Structures are given as C-alpha cells and as structure tokens.
C-alpha cells in the first residue's frame, strides 16, 4: 500500500508572497525543475489571476514539468478558476486549488458574507474547477480560527461537489501542535465523507510552530503537507519542506507513513538555489540546510562523532545533499570532464551555447583561482542562467580606485539598450562608488533595500556571491552576481537587479 505523505511545495506561490522574494518567470521555472528533480508530488506554481507575468510563469511550468502535479491557486471566483484552468491546459497532471475564508472574523470583516453564502460560493467554485480537472483542492482559509461545526459542514459540501483534497490552513499561525493535531483528527472523524478526500495542512510560522503543527496533523491523519523550501512564505513563513521531510524520515518509529519517494539529496542544492534567487539567506543554525546544521564544534562532540557518528548525528549530511565540496577539476580539465561533473551535480543547460559559455567562464575562473569546488560550479551555472533574461543593461567594464586617505572612485562602462555609456562617481567605498556610477547612468530611481556578500568557498581567492535588493514604487527585485573580485560581483548583482526592475510588474495578492 502506498503510505506516502504527499509533499505539496508552495515556494513559488506562498513563498513568493514574502515581501522582497519576488522571482522572474525564468527563476520560477528553474526552481520548479529543481522541485521536480526532488520528486515533490505537487508544485503550487502561482496565482495566475495576479498578473500576466504570474499567468505566464504558471503556464510555462505546467508545460515543462512532467513528473510532478502542477497546481495553480484561485479564489472561489469564476474568473480566477478559469484563469488557472487556462494556465494549466497543457500540464501532464494539473490541480486547481481554490479557497475562501471560513473564520467568523474573516467572513464578517473581510468578505462581509454569511456562513451560508460562503458555503454556497465554495461549492460553486469546486464544481467550476472540476470542469477543468478532476484534481481539485479546497482550502477553508483561516481554518485554524474557524468553528468546528461550520468547518465540518463546508468540508462535507465541497467533497460532495468534487474536491479531492481538503487543505486545512492555519493562516495566521495561531494554533498549537496538540490542538491542531486534534482538529485534524476531529475533522476526519466527524465529516461523513472524509474518506473521499485527502486531508492536507498548510501552517504558517508566526509562533515558530509551523513544522510542529504540520507533523502533529500527520500523526492525526493528514496525508498532505504544504510547505516551502527554507520555510519561505508570507510573514514568518510556512512549514519548511526540508524539516518536514527529514522529521518523517528520521522518526519512522513515530510516523505511520513516510516520504521515501522524495530525493533527499536534492534538499541542499534546492535550498541554495531558492536562497540565491530570492536573496533570503539561510541562517547558519537553520535545521538541515544551515551551514552549521552538521558542524560539530565542541571537542567532546568531535571526539564522539569520530568514534561513532551516531553519538551526536541523527542524520547524515550527505543524505540531504551537503556535498563533500571536493576539488573537482582544475585549469587543465577538458570540456568533457567539466560537463560530466556538472551532470553529477544535476546542473543542466537549455542549450549547448550556454554550456560552452559556462565552460569559458570556468577557464577564466581557473586562471584566477587554483582550486575549483562544486560550489564554484554551481555559482558559474547560476550566472549563465541569469543572463538568459532580457537584459537591457550590460556591464562592459569597471575600474575602481581605492586608496588610503582618498575618496574611492569608480568608472563604469555600460551598454544600455544597445548604446554604450560611461559614467564615473565617487562614494564611501568602492562598491558605493560603483553603484553611484551605475545609477547615474541608468537613472532607475530605485532604493537599495539590501546588499549582502557571501563567500562561496573558503580562502581569500574565493568567489564572492552578492545579492542586491532594489525597490521602486512597491516593486521589489533581487539581483545576484558572483566573481573573485567582490566589487565586480557587486556591480553584476546591481545590474542584474536593475534589469529585473526595468520590466514593469503589477500583481494582485490572493488574500487581499
Ligand atoms: O495561508 C493560507 O491560508 C493560504 C491559503 C491560500 C491556502 O495560503
Ligand atoms: Zn499561506
């Protein structure tokens, strides 16, 4: 009997609702492919009615992903549902997820509807969604603060109308583990047709309990968990996929189900991909995917681990994809060795031209840096993929002058819409001067919200990986750049962000 918990990833939808985490269509597609590779069951690709860009992203994911079910979110409204149906038209396996709020406060204050009206709209929405697919999920939003009697009534009605998954969201992250587990148990017991649908949970982390609440729900009968990579999501985020998967895997003595279908070795690479694209760095002590998650600092621990790993380790770092980060190839390695290592790391390119370009970059890097590690290759691949976007601004050259007692100065040469421009500026430091020069040339009028530098590997010759977050009129974008010279990496990241900002974007939020 298949006793797997369905892993429903909503990084691309709820995750993207974190302020500052917006992603381009290409970036979403790359994350979707990484999730498919991890063998996630369902990928919630977005909220198609939000904007044309969101619709296009959901459609391109639906067209490209073959092994996971692709899902789109819709409020319980005809236009929303039709838009999802249209976006998922070519999906191998499609799901429509429709929702309406059921808590007294949401129904009264937000919807200004009576419970009966809400129930009727939910039923109509599920029936409409069933015209497009027989895989329909219904969520009573804010279920965690809804009345049990009304929840049972609406759930029974939507299952009768054709919902195959019923998702119970703790929208505001208010519940406690025991209480939430009991809620799921009571719903499964009291809804007469509960055996006709899979019960799912969707927990927010406002009290830091999203994972604990989800796991308690699984123990009480839920068989789908909605989660995100790195716990990204609205406000304090959603339940972290990596924690759910590894808790269920590690505590098989407790869970009556498993997640054996998930390729756990993809967890760390996917976490890094999401952190790089969104600019939301993973805290070092974050479970599973933080850099310190498997580091043993104290002498006693190190001694224990050396004698027998399981004295202090309940999971193995390599099982979740922490690479040994070995030195792979050097300056004299050929294209074939390079390509083989990329394949081993699961890095693929859309075209042979992209592979060749990355190989050229690898050679340039090998000239500057003696030892090339797996993480360097990941960064090279990311920077090649970044360039597939429609770039209006390109960096041609950058010269910076930084000297004790002098004001740093930068001279930048850019190609903007096919025309070369040169601009110089001074600033508090070489990065500041470079950004001033670029901004003077582009005149974006944007505001720098975040600037962060990470070294990809150790050593002073390591590549610096820079994230820049820009905001203009409520539109927030993230840019990335990597180079052994961190001033150049910073300029690349700034320009990458500017290119995204120059694409106009307007979108609706599903819960507003
Ligand atoms: O948190 C929430 O209630 C949601 C729903 C749309 C499922 O994200
Ligand atoms: Zn949510």
Count Cβ atoms within 10 A of the Cβ of residue 182 and give its class: 0-12 exposed, 13-18 middle, 19 or more buried. middle
Count Cβ atoms within 10 A of the Cβ of residue 315 and give its class: 0-12 exposed, 13-18 middle, 19 or more buried. middle
Is CATH 3.60.10.10 the right assignment for the domain spanning 391-502? no
39 token code pair? 């063998």
Which residues sit with Cβ closer than 5 angstroms to ligand 2, an ion?
Answer: 14
φ, ψ at 138 (rounded to 5°): -120, 135
**What is the Å distance from ligand 2's center to 101 Cα?**
12
Please give the CATH topology (third level) of the domain spanning 6-278: TIM Barrel (3.20.20)
* CA nearest ligand 1 atom 2, residue: 171
| Residue written as token pair 């042979």 | 352
Tens-digit pLDDT profile for the chain (512 aa)? 568 999 999 999 999 998 888 898 999 999 999 999 999 999 999 999 999 999 999 999 999 999 999 999 999 999 999 999 999 999 999 999 999 999 999 999 999 999 999 999 999 999 999 999 999 999 999 999 999 999 999 999 999 999 999 999 999 999 999 999 999 999 999 999 999 999 999 999 999 999 999 999 999 999 999 999 999 999 999 999 999 999 999 999 999 999 999 999 999 999 999 998 898 989 999 999 998 898 866 666 667 777 777 788 899 999 999 875 555 677 777 888 888 888 777 677 778 888 888 888 888 888 887 778 877 887 787 776 656 556 899 999 999 999 999 999 999 999 999 999 999 999 999 999 999 999 999 999 999 999 989 877 777 888 888 999 999 988 888 898 989 999 999 999 999 999 988 876 667 788 77
The C-alpha atoms of residue 355 and residue 339 are separated, in whole angstroms, by 8
| Residue written as token pair 């999401």 | 274
**What is the Å distance from ligand 2's center to 141 Cα?**
9
Residue list, ligand 1 pocket, CB within 6 Å? 14, 99, 139, 141, 169, 171, 202, 204, 510
135 near 69, Cβ under 8 Å?
A: yes
Burial 340-374 (b: 16+ CB within 10 A, else e): ebbeebbbebeeeebbebbbebbeebbeebeebbb
**What is the Å distance from ligand 2's center to 239 Cα?**
10
The C-alpha atoms of residue 242 and residue 228 are separated, in whole angstroms, by 8
Q: What pTM was estimated for this model as a whole?
A: 0.87
Closest atom of ligand 1 to CA, residue 142 = 3
């Amino acid at each position: 009997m298949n006793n797997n918990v369905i892993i429903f990833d909503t990084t691309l939808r709820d995750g993207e609702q974190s302020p500052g985490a917006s992603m381009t269509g290409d970036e979403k597609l790359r994350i979707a492919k990484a999730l498919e590779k991890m063998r996630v069951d369902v990928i919630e690709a977005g909220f198609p009615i939000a904007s044309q860009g969101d619709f296009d992203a959901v459609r391109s994911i639906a067209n490209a992903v073959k092994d996971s079910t692709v899902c789109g979110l819709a409020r319980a409204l005809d236009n929303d549902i039709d838009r999802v149906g249209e976006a998922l038209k070519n999906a191998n396996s499609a799901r429509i997820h429709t929702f309406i709020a059921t808590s007294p406060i949401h129904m009264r204050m937000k919807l200004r509807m009576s419970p009966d009206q809400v129930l009727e709209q939910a039923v109509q929405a599920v029936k409409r969604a069933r015209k497009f697919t027989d895989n329909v999920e219904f969520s009573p939003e804010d279920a965690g603060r809804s009345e049990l009697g009304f929840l049972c009534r609406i759930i029974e009605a939507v299952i009768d109308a054709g919902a195959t998954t019923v998702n119970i969201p703790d929208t505001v992250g208010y519940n406690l583990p025991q209480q939430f587990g009991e809620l799921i148990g009571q719903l499964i017991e009291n809804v007469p047709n509960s055996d006709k649908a899979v019960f799912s949970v969707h927990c927010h982390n406002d009290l830091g309990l999203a994972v604990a609440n989800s796991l308690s729900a699984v123990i009480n009968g839920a068989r789908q968990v909605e989660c995100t990579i790195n716990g990204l999501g609205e406000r304090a985020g959603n339940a972290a996929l990596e924690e759910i998967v590894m808790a269920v895997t590690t505590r098989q003595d407790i869970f009556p189900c498993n997640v054996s279908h998930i390729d756990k070795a993809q967890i760390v690479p996917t976490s890094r991909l999401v952190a790089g694209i969104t600019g939301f760095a993973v805290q070092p002590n974050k479970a599973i995917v933080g850099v310190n998650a498997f580091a043993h600092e104290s002498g006693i621990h190190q001694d224990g681990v050396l004698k027998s790993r399981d004295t202090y380790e309940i999971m193995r770092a390599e099982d979740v994809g922490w690479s040994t980060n070995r030195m792979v190839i050097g300056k004299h390695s050929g294209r074939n060795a390079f390509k083989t290592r990329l394949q081993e790391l699961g890095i693929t390119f859309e075209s042979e031209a992209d592979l060749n370009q990355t190989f050229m970059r690898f050679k340039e890097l090998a000239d500057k840096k003696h030892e090339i590690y797996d993480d360097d290759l990941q960064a090279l691949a990311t920077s090649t993929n970044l360039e597939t976007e429609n770039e209006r601004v390109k960096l041609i050259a950058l010269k910076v002058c930084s000297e004790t007692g002098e004001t740093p100065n930068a001279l930048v040469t850019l190609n903007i819409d096919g025309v070369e421009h040169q601009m110089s500026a001074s600033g508090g430091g070489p990065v500041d001067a470079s950004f001033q020069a670029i901004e003077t040339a582009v005149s974006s009028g944007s505001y720098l919200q975040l600037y962060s530098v990470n070294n990809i590997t150790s050593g002073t010759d390591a590549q610096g990986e820079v994230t820049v977050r820009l905001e203009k009129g409520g539109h927030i974008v993230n840019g990335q750049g990597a180079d052994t010279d961190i001033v150049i990496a910073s300029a690349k990241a700034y320009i990458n962000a500017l290119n995204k900002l120059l694409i106009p974007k307007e979108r609706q939020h599903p819960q507003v």
